[in-house]
C-alpha cells in the first residue's frame, strides 16, 4: 500500500490469514522442552533407581518436530506406549514410547528378579501390572519436578500402559492430538539400567501443550524479576548485619534434622536405601532452653518413687495411614506408602501408647535418634500413664 491508498482484498485476506495462524515453533521452544524433559526425567530416573534397586540414568534429551500422523513411522514391532493425561495446572495428553524388551526388564526387576529375560518372552497381565506401577511412580515424580519448575501445581491421571504393534498398518497412536497435521515435539532420551540395558525412548508433546508451559515459564521469570527488583533495596539495608547472629543458632540445629526428615517421607524421589552412598553427618545439637515444670502439689512424689523402675515401651510414630485389605495384598517390594504427616512435621513420642512428647529425627553417630522439641506437662503425662 502506497500513500493514502486502501488495502486490496488480497492484502486483507493475507493479513487475516496471518492473524489466524498459530505462532510457529522456534528453536527456543524446542530447547525449553528439552530442558523440561531433562528435569522431569532426572526425577523419574531417581524413582526408577529406587524401585528397581539398580542405578538408572536418563540423559541427553534431543528435541525435534514431527507431524502427528508421522509418529507411527518412527517405530517397528511391539513397543510399550504410556499415555499421561494432565488434569490440573497443565491440560492435555503426552505419550511415551519404550521398547518392549526394556519393559520386560523393568517388570522382572519389579517382581524381584535379576533383570535377565528371555528375548522371546512377552508381557503378560502380571508383568504389565508391574510395569504400570513403575510408570505410575516414575511419572508422578516427573510431574512433581515439572510443577516445581513452572511454579504451578500439576496433577495427572494414572498412566495408561499398553503394547502397540507398529508393524500393523491399522495401528492407531494414542489421540494426543485431533489434527493429523498438528505439530508434535519429539523428545528422545537415552536410558541406561545398570548392568542390563542401554536404550532410547521417546516422549511426544503436542505443540499447544508446550506453548502453555512456555507461557507459564514467562510468568515465573517475570515474577522473579519483579521480586528481585523489590528485594534489592532491602538487601542493602544495614539491618541485615544485626539479624545474622540470630539466624545462625536457629539454622545449625534445625536444618540438618529437617533435611534428614524430608528424605524418608518424600517417597519415590527421596527414599534412601541402604548402600545408596548418601553421606549422613552427625547432628549439631542446639542448646535446650525453657523453664522446668514444677509438679502439682496434688501429685504424691513419695508414691511415685515406687514406680520409677517400672519398664515402659517408648515408641516414635513417623505417621500412619489406612488401607483396605485389597491394597495390602497388592503391596510388593518397592511399593510406596504415603503417611499422614508432612516432611519436617514433629514426630509423636509415646510411652506405653500414651503421648508424652514430640520431637524431630536426628542422627547420633550411626543410629537414628529423636531430639525432643516439645514435652507434655508433668501433670498431663502422669494422668496419661494411669
- What stretches of 271-369 show up as alpha helix (H) in DSSP? 301-304, 325-329
**What is the dihedral sign for C-alpha 369, 372, 373, 374?**
positive
Structure-block grid coordinates of residue 223: 515474577
pLDDT at position 299 is 55
User: Rounded to whole angstroms, how far apart are CA atoms 280 and 256?
Assistant: 9
User: Can you identify the CATH homologous superfamily of domain 27-221?
Assistant: CheC-like (3.40.1550.10)
pLDDT at position 14 is 59
pLDDT at position 10 is 66
Say if residue 250's pLDDT is above 50: no
User: Rounded to whole angstroms, how far apart are CA atoms 259 and 267?
Assistant: 14
Any residues with CB less than 8 A from the CB of 362 and at least 6 apart, and which?
Answer: 256, 257, 260, 283, 285, 368, 369, 370, 371
Contact (CB, 8 A) for 206 and 181: no
Domain boundaries, given as residue ranges, for the chain: 27-221, 312-384
- Average pLDDT (180-195) is 91
Instruction: Name the pairing type of β-strands 314-317 and 197-206.
Output: unpaired
User: Rounded to whole angstroms, how far apart are CA atoms 365 and 360?
Assistant: 16
**What is the dihedral sign for C-alpha 129, 133, 139, 143?**
positive
Contact (CB, 8 A) for 116 and 26: no
User: Rounded to whole angstroms, how far apart are CA atoms 230 and 232?
Assistant: 6
pLDDT digits over 320-354, tens only? 888 888 888 888 887 888 888 887 788 888 888 88
- Give the mean pLDDT of the chain: 76
User: Rounded to whole angstroms, how far apart are CA atoms 8 and 70?
Assistant: 39
Instruction: Name the pairing type of β-strands 347-351 and 314-317.
Output: antiparallel
Say if residue 284's pLDDT is above 60: no
Assign a CATH topology to domain 312-384. Surface presentation of antigens (SPOA) (2.30.330)
Q: What is the dihedral of CA 50, 256, 278, 139, to 10 degrees?
A: 20
pLDDT at position 81 is 93
Rg (CA), the chain: 29
φ/ψ of 240, rounded to 5, equals -60, -30
Any residues with CB less than 8 A from the CB of 99 and at least 6 apart, and which?
Answer: 79, 80, 199, 201
User: Rounded to whole angstroms, how far apart are CA atoms 106 and 113?
Assistant: 9
pLDDT digits over 144-158, tens only? 888 888 888 988 988
| Closest residue by Cα to residue 48 from 249, 269, 254 | 269
| Closest residue by Cα to residue 356 from 330, 336, 384 | 384
Structure-block grid coordinates of residue 249: 543458632
Say if residue 220's pLDDT is above 60: yes
Q: SS3 for 201-244, per residue?
A: EEEEEEHHHHHHHHHHHHHHHHHHHHHHHHHHHHHCCCHHHHHH
| Closest residue by Cα to residue 341 from 316, 364, 362, 324 | 316
User: Rounded to whole angstroms, how far apart are CA atoms 16 and 65?
Assistant: 26
pLDDT at position 226 is 59
Q: What percent of the chain has pLDDT above 90?
A: 14
Amino acid at each position: 500500500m502506497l500513500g493514502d491508498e486502501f488495502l486490496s482484498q488480497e492484502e486483507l485476506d493475507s493479513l487475516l490469514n496471518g492473524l489466524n495462524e498459530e505462532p510457529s515453533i522456534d528453536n527456543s521452544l524446542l530447547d525449553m522442552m528439552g530442558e523440561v524433559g531433562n528435569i522431569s526425567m532426572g526425577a523419574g530416573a531417581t524413582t526408577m533407581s529406587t524401585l528397581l534397586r539398580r542405578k538408572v540414568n536418563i540423559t541427553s534429551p534431543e528435541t525435534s518436530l514431527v507431524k502427528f500422523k508421522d509418529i507411527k513411522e518412527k517405530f517397528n514391532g511391539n513397543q510399550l506406549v504410556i499415555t499421561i493425561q494432565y488434569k490440573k495446572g497443565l491440560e492435555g495428553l503426552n505419550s511415551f514410547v519404550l521398547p518392549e524388551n526394556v519393559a520386560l526388564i523393568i517388570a522382572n526387576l519389579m517382581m524381584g528378579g535379576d533383570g535377565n529375560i528371555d528375548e522371546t518372552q512377552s508381557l503378560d497381565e502380571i508383568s504389565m501390572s508391574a510395569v504400570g506401577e513403575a510408570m505410575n511412580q516414575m511419572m508422578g515424580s516427573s510431574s512433581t519436578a515439572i510443577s516445581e519448575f513452572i511454579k504451578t501445581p500439576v496433577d495427572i491421571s494414572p498412566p495408561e500402559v499398553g503394547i502397540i504393534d507398529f508393524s500393523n498398518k491399522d495401528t492407531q497412536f494414542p489421540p494426543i492430538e485431533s489434527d493429523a497435521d498438528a505439530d508434535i515435539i519429539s523428545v528422545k532420551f537415552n536410558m541406561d539400567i545398570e548392568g542390563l540395558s542401554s536404550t532410547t525412548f521417546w516422549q511426544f508433546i503436542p505443540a499447544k501443550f508446550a506453548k502453555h508451559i512456555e507461557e507459564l515459564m514467562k510468568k515465573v521469570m517475570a515474577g522473579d524479576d519483579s521480586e528481585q527488583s523489590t528485594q534489592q533495596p532491602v538487601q542493602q539495608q544495614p539491618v541485615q548485619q544485626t539479624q545474622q547472629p540470630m539466624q545462625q543458632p536457629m539454622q545449625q540445629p534445625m536444618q540438618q534434622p529437617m533435611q534428614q526428615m524430608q528424605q524418608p517421607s518424600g517417597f519415590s524421589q527421596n527414599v534412601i536405601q541402604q548402600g545408596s552412598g548418601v553421606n549422613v553427618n552427625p547432628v549439631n545439637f542446639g542448646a535446650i532452653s525453657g523453664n522446668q515444670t514444677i509438679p502439682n502439689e496434688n501429685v504424691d512424689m513419695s508414691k511415685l518413687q515406687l514406680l520409677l523402675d517400672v519398664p515402659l515401651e517408648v515408641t516414635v510414630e513417623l505417621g500412619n495411614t489406612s488401607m483396605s485389605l485389597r491394597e495390602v495384598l497388592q503391596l510388593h517390594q518397592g511399593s510406596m506408602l504415603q503417611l499422614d504427616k508432612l516432611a519436617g512435621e514433629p514426630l509423636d513420642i509415646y510411652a506405653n501408647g500414651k503421648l508424652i512428647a514430640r520431637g524431630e529425627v536426628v542422627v547420633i553417630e550411626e543410629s537414628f535418634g529423636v531430639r525432643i522439641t516439645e514435652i507434655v506437662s508433668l501433670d498431663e503425662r502422669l494422668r496419661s500413664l494411669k
